Amino acid sequence: MMHLLAADPTLADFGKDPLWITIIKAVMLFVFLMLGVLFGVWFERKLISRMQHRYGPNRAGKFGLLQSVADGLKMGLKEDLFPRTVDKVLYLLAPVIMVVPAFLAFSIVPFAPMVNLFGVQTPLQLVDLPVAVLFMLAMGAVSVYGVVLAGWSSRSPYALLGGLRSAAQVVSYEIAMGLSFVAIFLFAGTLSTSEIVKAQEQTWFAVLLIPSFLIYVVCMFGEAARIPFDLPEGEGELVGGFQTEYSSSLKFALIMMGEYLHTFTASGIAVTLFLGGWRAPWPISLWDGANVGWLPVLWFFIKFVLTFSFIVWVRASLPRVRYDQLMALGWKVLIPVNLAWILLVAAVRNVVINEGDRMIGIGLGAVIVIGALAIWMRFDTVNQRRREARKAQVEAEFEELSKEPVAGGFPVPPLDLPHYHGVQHKEIPSGTN
């Protein structure tokens, strides 16, 4: 029993570290994230180019491994430009606001259970709070300020549009994302990440709560502004979006780092909340030693890299959606579906686990389902009637136009030219000149 307790840290295990252990953990996390950005960029470029039958970066270092280092050096050595009309304070501050919360948000991700760090038993997680997941959401909310301010302070229409898009997009997708965590909170009974990982000892929440997981995966792209939802950047329509006026100097490097850190946070949260955190995957988890000591770091890292690869894969596969499609998906699909799913989860939990009154539960459920069906059928018939009327109108118009092609109809050549009407067709046998 003691052994199990040592392996699975809870909230009570935090806040006991000596200061130097906390500092070491913070430095380790920082180094992990910095190296993660350097090699994450290389990994993404390499993976995506393999998916597109290219080689990708292969000049700097073995396999192009040093490509990001070279890029970073170049960005550091370039002249730091301030376009003439920008709002200097905010223009400089915006990349910083983007990066700092992104680092902070990762601090609640557990990498491993209790480990022996220089002779001290400590959970391999920088900090845990009773509201750790909410803290992550809060940091996400703060870092949008960076994007919005970068857009506003640039004093350029493209940048401003990118900033506005980002503000609306992130606020919308944060709602759906927060709702997708609710089912987890119901099952885990806590908001602390270490205890959520602990609650996934039997089943991962990705299996138990598939709808929540799928909704989170969609929201993850919206929140991290990755393709298919990278509309704040949208180089097809907005040149560079909010970062149009940031030339490739250190400020741009910060922006890029912030974006990668957000993607990492999204992957880390997906792994922690849905994919069992540092727990070993199924066949390995039968072995008792798999979830003890430093080994779980490996499981966490594998899951983390696979999730990141999935995000890259999606980028290679899907085109960018239109802005109204993005908003419609967020508000009209993800949020209502999520609410219905939470209702179902809460009802089932209440009836099955807490042994609440079965009759009340079933009765209320029946009323809700019948009501929803009635509303849906009412609106569906109205919509269907509209669609049919529209189709009939288009067909009638088409009929009319094809009857009289020359009277302002479709641009076709006149159909009464002489050679259409039985003018002698001279046969030319082959072999004649």
Partner 1 sequence: MGETITFWVLAVVSVGAALGVVFNRKAVYSALMLGTVMLSLAVLYAVQDAPFLAAVQIIVYTGAIMMLFLFVLMLVGVDSSDSFVETLKGQRFWAAIAALGFVTLIVLAFGNAIFADEVGLAQATAQGGYIRSIALLLFTKYVFAFEITSALLITAALGAMVLAHRERLTEKATQKDLSRARFLGDRPSPLPGPGTYARNNAIDMPALLPDGSVAESSVNRYIARYDVEHGHLPEDPKLAAAIRHRADDEGSESGDAESNAEESNGVTK
Q: How far apart are CA 279 and CA 207, in angstroms?
A: 14
Q: Please tell me whether residue 284 binds partner 1 under the rule CB under 8 A.
A: no
Q: Determine, following the binding rule CB under 8 A, whether residue 71 of this chain makes contact with partner 1.
A: no
Site string for partner 1, 373-412 (x = CB under 8 A): -----------------x-----------------x-xx-
- The residues near 238 (Cβ < 8 Å, ≥ 6 apart) are 158, 161, 162, 165, 244
Longest dimension (CA), the chain: 104
The count of residues interacting with partner 1 (CB under 8 A) is 32
Q: How far is the CB of 134 from partner 1 (least distance, A)?
A: 4
* Two tokens, residue 252: 């741009």
Q: Mark the segment that binds partner 1 (CB under 8 A) among 25-33, 72-80, 136-144, 301-309.
A: 136-144
Spatial distance between the Cα atoms of 187 and 213, rounded to a whole number of angstroms: 14
Beta carbon of residue 91, minimum distance to partner 1 (angstroms, whole number) = 12
Least Cβ distance, residue 388 to partner 1 (angstroms): 14
- Binder of partner 1 out of 24, 48, 117, 129 (CB under 8 A): 129
Tell me if residue 388 falls in helix, strand or coil.
Answer: helix
By the rule CB under 8 A, 144 interacts with partner 1: yes
Q: CA-to-CA distance for 238 and 165, rounded, in angstroms?
A: 11
In this chain, which of 14, 91, 145, 229 binds partner 1, going by CB under 8 A? 145
Q: Which of 65, 117, 142, 186 binds partner 1 (CB under 8 A)?
A: 142
Q: Which stretch binds partner 1 (CB under 8 A): 31-39, 158-166, 255-263, 352-360?
A: 158-166
Going by C-beta distance under 8 Å and a sequence separation of 6 or more, which residues neighbour residue 235?
A: 241
Q: Which residues contact 330 (CB under 8 A, 6 or more apart)?
A: 169, 172, 173, 175, 176, 222
Nearer to partner 1, 220 or 312 (CB): 220
Q: How many CA atoms lie within 13 A of 105 on its CB side?
A: 31
Using CA atoms, how far apart are residues 229 and 239, in angstroms rounded to an integer? 16
Binding site for partner 1 (CB under 8 A): 90, 129-131, 134-135, 137-138, 140-142, 144-145, 148-149, 151-152, 155, 160, 163-164, 167-168, 170-171, 174, 178, 191, 390, 408, 410-411
